[in-house]
Amino acid sequence: MLEIKKLKVQTSDDHQTIIKDLSLSIKSGEIHAIMGPNGTGKSTLSKVIMGNNKYNLVEGDILFNNKSIINLTVDERAKSGIFLAMQDPTVVEGVTNSEFIKTAIQETTNERINYFNFIKELDSCIKNIGLSEDMLHRSLNQGFSGGEKKKNEILQLKMLKPKFIILDEIDSGLDVDSLKVVCQNLNDYLKENQETSVLIITHYPRILEYIKPDYVHIMKDGTIKKTGDINLAFETEKIGYSSINEVSENKNHE
């Protein structure tokens, strides 16, 4: 479904290399996790998949369903079914949360939505996620707590129904109970949409106990150094990232 080939990424303004020689292949229905130290390029990778123009792709390619997406705009990528739950969701003053979600659905599906069905679905989703109804009428992310922002990303996800989901540290800022609720919602979504693939960026194996990954990758110095199963996440939590240096043979997992 998503194929990243020998990616090299620099910042657009000062041409600093952040990602180098990174390859990753995610098939339909697979769940992959990426772990790695701060500042290693995990969020950059998620933004590059989504098409953020602060970064230049100087080498390599990104294919989605066998077609290169590197020349597509952010909205074209969103329309094709890619969704990013951001590490730091942006505040948009003056645009209410429900208006934002409604517009996003209309833009990605190219259809006018049925308002009655939209409200019904939105109500059921916020109840399941545990957000209060007044959050729908507030400006997007304005004054939302860290946990509320993360839950709101999951609300958008459930309403937009993506085919490929990137979760950038969705677990940071969530208390134990909220994490369970978020994971339950994600698992329900994945059960109903078995073709959907997920890339989970995280520091903690805890989320991976709820959303079981097929592969765990350790990213360091802008590339994937090691690939394994969930045990790699637990091992790494015990020994830390400093001991991971060799590039494993199966790093491309192809």
- What is the nearest approach in angstroms of ligand ADP to the Cβ of residue 11? 4
Using the contact rule CB under 6 A, the part of the chain among 35-43, 77-85, 151-159, 171-179 near ligand ADP is 35-43
Site string (34-73) toward Mg ion, x via CB under 5 A: --------xx------------------------------
Task: Return the closest-CA partner of residue 214 out of 203, 227, 226.
Answer: 227
Q: Which residues pair with 96 in a beta bridge?
A: 139
Query: Cα(20)–Cα(224) distance, rounded to whole angstroms?
Result: 9
- The residue from 1, 10, 35, 44 that contacts ligand ADP (CB under 6 A) is 44
Of 38, 53, 66, 145, the one binding ligand ADP (CB under 6 A) is: 38
Residues 54-93 that bind ligand ADP (CB under 6 A): 54
94: which residues sit within 8 A by CB, 6+ positions away?
Answer: 139
Give dist(CA 210, CA 223) in Å, integer: 26
> In this structure, are residues 208 and 230 in contact, taking their beta carbons and an 8 Å threshold?
yes
Written as one letter, the residue type at 220 is K
Neighbours of 196 (CB within 10 A): 23
From 32, 42, 149, 151, residue interacting with ligand ADP (rule: CB under 6 A): 42
* Residues binding ligand ADP (CB under 6 A): 11, 16, 18, 36, 38-44, 54
* Residues binding Mg ion (CB under 5 A): 42-43, 87
